[in-house]
Amino acid sequence: MAARFNIVRAARQLTSATRPRPQFACQGWQTQQRQRLFSVSAVLKEKKYTEDHEWIEMSADGKTCTLGISEYAAKALGDVVYIELPQLEMDVSEGDAIGAVESVKSASDILTPISGTVAEVNSELETKPANINKDPEGDAWIAKITVSGEPEGKMMSKEEYTAFTEDA
């Protein structure tokens, strides 16, 4: 019986030496954080475009949106020389002109596709309006608006907007 016990103990030691030691779940999580492939906020963060060539992007909490002009509009305007930004805490309604963009070619109003209150403006554009030509759908956003309702006008996805601008 003692010989049998020693064989079982030796077999356990052999198998435990070849398999990895278990880790606690929290230790593995802390050392291996994986990027999520899907999240609900990915849908909310999708840019939506208007027929007037503005875009909005909702924040993850759905309470604010970032507003700017599209790359198509920035290219069509040419070299931007002046931007009139909206006033902070200004109440806006869908379709209101909240500012203007002037270039060497022309000037264009900035229309808001959503109702709400202006919470923040990109004041860097006042001193460097040409940034809108460099990154109109990124760092050269125009305003952030605290949303008070859903957009009622036609909003397009990137693919729909691309098709819309190719038809124009």
- pLDDT tens, N- to C-terminus, the chain (168 residues): 455 555 656 556 655 555 555 454 444 444 444 444 444 444 446 899 999 999 999 998 889 999 999 999 999 999 999 999 999 999 999 999 999 999 998 999 999 999 999 999 999 999 999 999 999 999 999 999 999 977 777 899 999 999 999 976
CA distance 49 to 145: 16
Residues 54, 110 contacting (CB under 8 angstroms): yes
List, in sequence order, every residue forming a beta bridge with 56; answer none if it has no partner.
Answer: 48, 67
CA distance 90 to 25: 50
Residues 116, 96 contacting (CB under 8 angstroms): no
- Contacts for 33 with CB less than 8 Å, ≥ 6 apart: none
Report pLDDT for 150. Answer: 77
DSSP type of residue 91: E
For 41, the token pair is: 């906020």
Return the CA Rg of the chain.
Answer: 27
CA distance 23 to 52: 56
CB atoms within 10 A of CB 75: 11
CA distance 37 to 47: 19
- Contacts for 23 with CB less than 8 Å, ≥ 6 apart: none
Report pLDDT for 37. Answer: 44
